[in-house]
Amino acid sequence: MNTTIGDRIRSLREFRDVTQEQLAQRAGVSVDTVRKLEQGIRQSARINTLRCLARALDVQLERLVGQPTVTQELQDDGGLLALRDAIQDIGTLPGVLADDDMEDPPAPEAWTADVKAATSMYWRGDYSELSGVLPLLLRDGQAVTREHPQEGVWQQLALAYQLAASLATQAGHPDWAFAAVAKQLAAAQRASDPLMEGMGVSTLSWVLLRQGRWEQAQAVAEKKADALEPSFRKSSPSQWAVYGNLLIAAATPAARRDQRDDAQQLLTFAESAAVRSGPQRIYGSAFSVTDVRTQQVNIALAGQESKPAEALRLAKHVDLDAITRPVHAASHRVDVAQARYQTGDFDGALADLLEVEEQQPEWIRFQTLAAATVREMLEAERRRNAPLRGLASRLGVDPTL
């Protein structure tokens, strides 16, 4: 039988031995919302409400909404469980005897090219393909660094673990991602690369955000940004870009905590950094004025007081053609779809979501915001809408609700 969000809320609430009133108070939502969800009168709520309920129930949002935690295609040479095993490599633990029958590692140049190719897979949204190659990439990386422990090789290993953290987070496994970030930061230290460490902290902030640890997500990013704050005269574009990425990382959890003024100030500083850096593609990521502006749209929708009209106004200043990463463009389009739905533009929201699905069919299945928006749309539809129900089914949302 399909379990609804309300079923999961009731089960978790009863397990915690709290009343509906107590849960509502802890989450900062109305008891009427909790009651209607549990009774099935409402099948969903806004994503920010669901985040607050998940925190109050002491669970990750992915468990509450039933986010998929597997990739679409099975791979013969890898997969998410193989990725877990590569991240949590028992052979690297102190006191554990590693296998001695390892094959010779690839040449550093060939392995570096593989890291670059895997990074492209991630930003294209090819998660199944990436899950098939990433476990071997990590194991080869450990072997390459043993044979060639130069700083440049350690930097590439840090990038490989950044990919592992990002994929694990997208696939609903933030605990694996945390372990991957720890190894990313350790490799960045071996590379003697403070900027790579900065990108590692930016990744850590995102992982903490997905774990619901908003205060820590903001704090670690702000602290690292302060430590790496560039000099206006002597800093390189890369320094400004890493600094700006950290400011963006801090702004998102600030908005989730309803510290909207702080979040906006952080993004104002980030946009200034983007002007100084110019468009940059660094450390497996990218940074530009456009990246900051898409985040302004996202933040307008965050917190308990969502501002969809403001999000749509800000979206007019985003140049979609300037977004260099396909999944980043898709994420922005999902934000716009949510804003359109919340302002009453049902048809525009559905058209956006269907277009994103056409362009990113695998990526969208892992997006809790897209699924939550579709649930809301299903609940509010006044007449049966075949395209919406088809989309709901493909996203794992029960279209009969």
Residue intervals of the chain classified under CATH 1.10.260.40 are 1-71
1-71, what's its fold?
A: 434 Repressor (Amino-terminal Domain) (1.10.260)
Report which of residues 94 and 399 the model is more confident about. Answer: 94
Instruction: Look over the chain and give the mean of its residue pLDDT values, rounded to a whole number.
Output: 88
β-bridge partners, 285: 282
pLDDT per residue as tens digits for the range 208-261 = 998 889 999 999 999 999 999 998 778 899 999 999 999 999 999 999 888 999
Q: How far apart are CA 230 and CA 110, in angstroms?
A: 34
What would the mean pLDDT of 343-348 be, rounded to a whole number? 93
**What pLDDT shows up at residue 135?**
92
Report which of residues 1 and 129 the model is more confident about. Answer: 129
The pLDDT of residue 1 is above 50: no
Report which of residues 102 and 365 the model is more confident about. Answer: 365
The pLDDT of residue 366 is above 50: yes
**What pLDDT shows up at residue 2?**
59
Q: How far apart are CA 28 and CA 9, in angstroms?
A: 15
pLDDT per residue as tens digits for the range 88-133 = 988 777 777 666 555 678 899 999 999 999 999 999 999 888 988 9
What would the mean pLDDT of 281-300 be, rounded to a whole number? 94
What would the mean pLDDT of 296-316 be, rounded to a whole number? 92
What would the mean pLDDT of 372-397 be, rounded to a whole number? 82
